[in-house]
């Protein structure tokens, strides 16, 4: 509730022209944990970096331009239920913007747990980087940077659903609405 989003990235898995969206976000405050994500206060607190209130309409337009008419939008993130969604919900509320009612979320952390359970394995770590190593995906970009994580997740998600033998319908059945996720936690989203 007291922290801000400092970077957003999206990728439409159907691909095509203009299928990615990425930007730093100006939180208008000090950025903690630069050692984790590599984003400094100096990088984002500049006039040419959009503030969240300016970015929300652009973000909504990007998603709308990619969605099928009348359908739901399914967004995937690793630890979405406890991290990404509460941050998005908090930012939309802070900016007095209506959160889209047709957005569903898939938490790949939950899928990774399901995969481990189906294999009869007890996971020691199911972080995005642990999954990258498990699926033998080469490291590209810096971990905890939004687009690098999105690129990695776009490779991991189909592999998780393949191992789980899940269809698109199964994935949607495992999705959740923003109202199903817990309140925001005091962490900063990349």
Phi, psi of 177 (to 5 degrees): -90, 155
- Cβ proximity of 80 and 181 under 8 Å: yes
Compute the distance between CA of residue 58 and CA of residue 118 in angstroms, rounded to an integer: 40
Compute the distance between CA of residue 119 and CA of residue 114 in angstroms, rounded to an integer: 9
E strands, the chain, are 7-11, 20-24, 73-77, 103-107
Of the candidates 131, 126, 127, 81, which has an alpha carbon nearest to the alpha carbon of residue 104? 81
Of 35, 37, 78, 144, the catalytic one is 144
Q: Which residue has the tokens 């984790």?
A: 36
144 catalytic residue (yes or no): yes
**What's the CA angle centered on 14, arms 13 and 18, to 5 degrees?**
90
Active site (catalytic) residues: 144
């Amino acid at each position: 509730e007291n922290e801000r989003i400092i970077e957003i990235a999206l990728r439409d898995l159907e691909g095509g022209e203009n299928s990615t969206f990425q930007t730093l976000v100006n939180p208008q405050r000090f950025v903690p944990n630069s050692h984790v994500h590599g984003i400094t206060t100096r990088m984002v607190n500049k006039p040419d970096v959009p503030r969240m209130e300016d970015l929300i309409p652009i973000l909504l337009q990007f998603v709308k331009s990619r969605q099928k008419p009348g359908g739901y939008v399914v967004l995937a993130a690793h630890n979405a239920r406890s991290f990404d969604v509460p941050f998005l919900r908090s930012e939309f509320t802070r900016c007095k913007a209506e959160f889209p009612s047709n957005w569903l979320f898939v938490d790949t952390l939950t899928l990774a747990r399901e995969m481990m359970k189906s294999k009869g394995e007890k996971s020691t770590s199911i972080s995005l980087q642990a999954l990258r190593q498990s699926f033998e995906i080469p490291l590209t970009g810096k971990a905890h940077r939004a687009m690098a994580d999105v690129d990695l997740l776009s490779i991991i998600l189909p592999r998780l659903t393949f191992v789980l033998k899940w269809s698109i319908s199964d994935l949607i059945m495992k999705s959740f609405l923003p109202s199903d996720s817990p309140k925001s936690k005091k962490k900063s989203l990349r």
